[in-house]
Amino acid sequence: MTRIKRVPSYPVMEAFYSIQGEGFYQGYAAYFLRLGGCDVGCVWCDVKESWDAKKHAKWSTEYMLEIIKNDPTQIVVVTGGEPLMHDCTELTHDLKEEGYQLHIETSGAYPISGEWDWICVSPKKFKAPLPEVLKKANELKVIIYHRSDFDWAEQFAKEVNPDCKLFLQPEWSKSKEMMPQIVQYIQTHPQWVLSLQIHKYMGVR
């Protein structure tokens, strides 16, 4: 597996202060760093412009800190794209020195690099997550696009640690169709919890 080589800066598609709209930390204020670069290729991805890392300016961690400090955030979420295509060791080291709580959202297709307080793995069918990443996940968030995705979700639920939080989230364009099925599934499988993209309902990023 080829990893983008370690660099002193990172391609950033966008950086913004908002509300975490998904998963266990839903509703918390958080600063988001969206790194460019992804080879997972989800057909329903809503940030396909993040896929090509070369299209995005590289930021040093020093510059990231200058930007982040403008807002009173405690949580920094690193997302993508697929952020673990990059070596995140320097990124997490520098941000942790400033006292931030660091979360990552990843497909799990690449090995973990860096030091994280919360690891959300959202597996994709187009590139399977690594077993060693699933074992480190604090949160498993499975996107439900089709009825068959429930069985697929259960496969990964068997691979995470017992304390991992389990979430089912409707794919946005299919939410009206899949929501009743997800609700029914959670009622009969209460180990799962519903995740909603509340930022989209709120009209924020």
Taking only the tens place, the pLDDT of each residue in 86-109 is: 999 999 999 999 999 999 999 999
CA distance 15 to 77: 10
Taking only the tens place, the pLDDT of each residue in 31-61 is: 999 999 888 766 666 677 777 888 999 999 9
Predicted TM-score (pTM) above 0.85:
yes
Domains of the chain, with CATH numbers?
A: 9-202 (3.20.20.70)
- Alpha helices by DSSP H, listed for 8-102, are 61-68, 89-97
Taking only the tens place, the pLDDT of each residue in 146-191 is: 999 999 999 999 999 999 999 999 998 888 999 999 999 999 999 9
CA distance 108 to 83: 10
CA distance 120 to 140: 6
Strand partners, 141: 167
Question: Residues with Cβ < 8 Å from 165, sequence gap 6 or more?
Answer: 23, 24, 138, 139, 140, 193
